[in-house]
């Protein structure tokens, strides 16, 4: 038997999430040629997990009865006849938009058209004790990480990797300055990756205790956006050498934060837009981008090839992904969703599915 959560509808997670304690376990004997059976040990949540079952969500339609979640780590139990990369006993982490790799190659980036078919929305995700995934939905896990930290990499860490290293000639490294916003998953991943690469990082936050945690992770300065809600971009910019601005700005808020991100970025710098987690503001006119003469790049995760690069870097630099102090068990997934919704978490909300 298998334990799993399913989403029955898009009426909000409180009514849509259903826990099945005695679901039929997938069988190794019935695997499709490109399928891999994985015993799941850990998962983590992203903002998308709240949006997918939201009747007003922006991710599009969902397959009813789907297993939610896209971040996860586990061990391979069996493989289909055409699987080349994995063998039973391999430690793996999930890749949430595998159709791009399957149809266009491992270097392909997901597009908006790929989103409805993503893991936890159009194909079964990670909030289950045993799952069957196509081969392209997996990569080998970092050797240096245990199950819970490995389960944080899928969405936020891969997105952060694409932000910092996805544009050739603009990679984060010594001499570059990076601005991250808040203490959510992508921002913390970008902070840790940029610091490991030798960049200088400034972080925005709303409280002194979170500022202290950001500095422990390597931020050289923090800016309280609540203390200066209308000018924190300029306040952050003044911290850069000669007030020139940031080489790279990670924008997670969308319409409300993008105007300040444009203020903070240097001439010919890069602003990466990855979400709309702040309250919606007025849409930013295109002319604002022209005034700041910078590159604005939308990000939808990263490619499977980039995921392998991320895994190698995590092992090489011995990075330990920061996550929330509260760890939930699989049966407590609704409580985990509530913690994410109420923004009580730090970085990533973790879910322990099984004990090794």
Whether the Cβ atoms of residue 31 and residue 46 lie closer than 8 Å to each other:
no
| Domain range enclosing 275 | 158-298
pLDDT digits (tens, 9 = 90+) for 93-144: 999 999 999 999 999 999 989 999 999 999 999 999 999 999 999 999 999 9
- Summarised one tens digit per residue, pLDDT across range 312-324 is 999 999 999 999 9
Tokens of 53: 């079952």
* CB environment 32-46: b (16+ within 10 A), e (fewer): eebbbbbbbbbbbbb
Task: Kindly indicate the confidence band of residue 285, based on its pLDDT and cuts at 50, 70 and 90.
Answer: low
For residue 157, the 8-state DSSP code is I
Examine residue 313 and state whether it is found in any structural domain, yes or no.
Answer: no
Bridge partner residues of 201 (DSSP): 178
Rounded Cα gap, residues 334 and 230, in angstroms: 35
CATH code, domain with 344? 3.90.180.10
Say yes or no to pLDDT of 79 above 90: yes
What the block records as the tokens of 262 is 């444009």
Please indicate, yes or no, if residue 314 is contained in any of the structural domains: no
Count Cβ atoms below 10 Å from residue 264 Cβ, excluding itself.
Answer: 31
What end-to-end distance do the CA atoms of the chain give, in Å? 18
Helices (H), 168-220: 185-196, 208-216
What pLDDT is attached to residue 286?
62
Q: Per-residue confidence at 297, pLDDT binned at 50, 70, 90?
A: very high
Residue 93 and residue 230 in one domain: no
Q: Stretch 18-24: mean pLDDT, rounded? A: 95
Domain co-membership, 26 together with 119:
yes
pLDDT in tens, 256-265: 889 999 999 9
Tokens of 161: 């990797």
127 belongs to a structural domain:
yes
- pLDDT tens digits for 171-224? 999 999 999 999 999 999 999 999 999 999 999 999 999 999 999 999 999 999
Please check whether residue 311 lies inside any domain of the structure: no
Task: Give yes or no: residues 8 and 133 share one domain.
Answer: yes
Q: What angle do helix axes 185-196 and 304-317 make, rounded to 10 degrees?
A: 60
What average pLDDT score do residues 10-34 get?
A: 94
Q: How far, in Å, CA of 207 to CA of 179, rounded?
A: 17
Are both 112 and 24 inside the same structural domain? yes
* pTM, rounded to two decimals: 0.95
* Residue-wise pLDDT tens digits, 155-166: 999 999 999 999
- 202 and 76, same structural domain? no
């Amino acid at each position: 038997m298998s334990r799993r959560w399913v989403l029955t509808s898009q009426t909000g997670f409180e009514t849509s999430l259903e826990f099945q304690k005695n679901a039929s376990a997938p069988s190794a004997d019935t695997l499709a040629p490109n399928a891999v059976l994985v015993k799941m040990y850990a998962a983590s949540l992203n903002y998308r997990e709240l949006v997918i079952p939201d009747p007003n969500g922006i991710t599009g339609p969902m397959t009813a009865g789907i297993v939610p979640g896209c971040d996860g780590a586990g061990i391979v139990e069996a493989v289909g006849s055409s699987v080349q990369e994995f063998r039973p006993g391999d430690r793996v982490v999930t890749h949430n938009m595998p159709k791009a790799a399957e149809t266009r190659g491992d270097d392909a980036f997901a597009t908006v058209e790929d989103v409805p078919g993503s893991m936890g929305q159009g194909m079964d995700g990670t909030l289950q004790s045993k799952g069957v995934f196509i081969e392209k939905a997996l990569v080998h896990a970092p050797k240096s990480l245990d199950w819970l930290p490995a389960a944080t990499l899928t969405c936020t860490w891969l997105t952060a990797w694409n932000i910092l290293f996805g544009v050739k000639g603009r990679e984060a490294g010594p001499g570059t300055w990076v601005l991250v916003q808040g203490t959510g998953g992508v921002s913390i991943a970008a902070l840790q990756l940029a610091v490991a690469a030798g960049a200088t990082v400034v972080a925005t936050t709303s409280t002194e205790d979170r500022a202290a945690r950001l500095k422990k992770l390597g931020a050289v300065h923090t800016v309280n956006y609540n203390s200066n809600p209308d000018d924190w971009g300029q306040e952050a910019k003044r911290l850069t050498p000669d007030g020139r601005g940031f080489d790279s700005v990670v924008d997670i808020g969308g319409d409300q934060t993008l105007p300040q991100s444009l203020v903070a970025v240097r001439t010919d710098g890069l602003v990466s837009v990855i979400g709309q987690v702040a309250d919606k503001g007025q849409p930013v006119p295109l002319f604002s981008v022209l005034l700041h003469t910078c590159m604005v790049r939308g990000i939808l995760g990263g490619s499977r090839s980039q995921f392998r690069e991320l895994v190698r870097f995590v092992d090489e630099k011995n990075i330990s992904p920061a996550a929330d102090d509260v760890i939930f068990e699989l049966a407590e997934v609704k409580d985990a969703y509530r913690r994410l919704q109420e923004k009580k978490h730090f970085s990533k909300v973790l879910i322990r599915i099984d004990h090794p």
